[in-house]
Amino acid sequence: MPTPIFTDAAEIRVYQTQDEANQDLVAGRIDATQADSIAMADFVNSDAGACCEIKGAVANDESILGRGIGAGVRKGDDALREKLNAGIAAILADGTHAEITSRYFKASIYSE
């Protein structure tokens, strides 16, 4: 696990689930949490998260945050992987992804 970057300014806690961190945030046991923007938007827009607000985003730093989320296919199933990649590229290129994203999310679920 990468070394946290805020250790000189804060006590870092690690939670098993985001729900546990959110509960501590609501209870005032922590002052802030870092999480997926879509999950946090859902929480903040709920009754439980009404006490909280999103203050911004952390700069994308692969050395800290990792490469992101992915999907797996069977090893050696190159044809399926290529079809999935082509499908994703197509909906990004023709605007379908942006249209669907704007309908359901406040932020893009795709990051290059």
- pLDDT value, residue 51: 92
Total residues belonging to the chain: 112
d(C-alpha 106, C-alpha 98), whole Å: 11
Distance CA 58, CA 105 (A): 18
* pLDDT (0 to 100) of residue 6: 64
pLDDT digits (tens, 9 = 90+) for 33-89: 988 888 898 899 999 999 999 988 877 788 877 777 778 899 999 999 999 999 999
Cα–Cα distance measured from residue 59 to residue 5, given in angstroms and rounded to the nearest whole number: 12
